[in-house]
Amino acid sequence: MTDTMTPMADREYLRIDYVARTGSGRIIDTTDPDVAADSDLAELEASGPIVVVPGEGHLFAPVEAAIDDADPGRTVAVTVDPEDAFGTVVPEELVTLEAEAVAPENREPGTTVQLGGRRAVVEDVGDGTVTVDFNHPLAGVTLEYEIEILERLEGTETRAAGLATTHGLREAAVDYDPEADALTLRLPDSSPSSDRDARKRAYLEDVRRLLGIASVTVIEAYGSDAD
């Protein structure tokens, strides 16, 4: 833990639900499965409330600042300007390329492509050229967040379990032994996944850094025949 980090006892661990919309009312993110199901975004998934620690970058900075010290039961509305969200539109990120740079099946306006390891959206297809936009799809967009503060978490095990939801490890079991200052994370049976490995690493970094736990053990099984 760095000298500049607020001690654990003084930090807020908040379980929240939220909905994020553009200024036109289009839903772009939420923790609420019912709201996600009613949105027009097929890829929008939601598994329920998450736990955030304001100041840790789990959400955009203006959102975390607005909910810091907020009491459970409150609903907070926050406007997030583009520069605090996905950035402003950079004209230089609109680039015209030779058509061969984009696979033929992707030469349609609105298609998302990967070019040089970067995400871009096809804007226009000309005679032997393709114009792509490397700006984030929500660049230049002001966002409106509505956050419901459900609970303030206390205690190491409760906070560690809450952080698991933040990192998409909702089905994990978390046990903490205060005498040994040791945490055990049990992950459910699953197929190997680089995505789960990344989420697991991020979670372990958080619990060690934020909670200062001396020892963390991960138990996971792969395949239905695993013990």
pLDDT tens figures, 162-187: 999 999 898 899 999 999 999 999 99
pLDDT tens figures, 71-80: 999 999 999 9
Is 1-88+137-153 a CATH 1.20.1260.10 domain? no
pLDDT at 69 over 60: yes
Give the pLDDT confidence score for residue 223 in this predicted structure. Answer: 63
Give the pLDDT confidence score for residue 7 in this predicted structure. Answer: 41
As a three-state string, the secondary structure of the chain is CCCCCCCHHHCCCEEEEEEEEECCCCEEEECCHHHHHHCCCCCCCCCCCEEECCCCCCCCHHHHHHHCCCCCCCEEEEEECHHHCCCCCCHHHEEEEEHHHCCHHHCCCCCEEEECCEEEEEEEECCCEEEEECCCCCCCCCEEEEEEEEEECCCHHHHHHHHHHHCCCCCCEEEEECCCCEEEEEEEEECCCHHHHHHHHHHHHHHHHHHCCCEEEEEEEECCCCC
Q: What percent of the chain has pLDDT over 70?
A: 91
pLDDT tens figures, 18-27: 999 999 999 9
Q: Domain 155-227 belongs to what topology? A: Alpha-Beta Plaits (3.30.70)
Mean pLDDT of the chain: 89
Q: How confident is the model at residue 2 (pLDDT cuts 50, 70, 90)?
A: very low
pLDDT at 51 over 60: yes
Locate the domains of the chain by residue range: 1-88+137-153, 91-133, 155-227
Radius of gyration of the chain (CA): 21
Q: What's the average model confidence in pLDDT over 83-105?
A: 96
Give the pLDDT confidence score for residue 1 in this predicted structure. Answer: 33
Q: What percent of the chain has pLDDT over 90?
A: 77
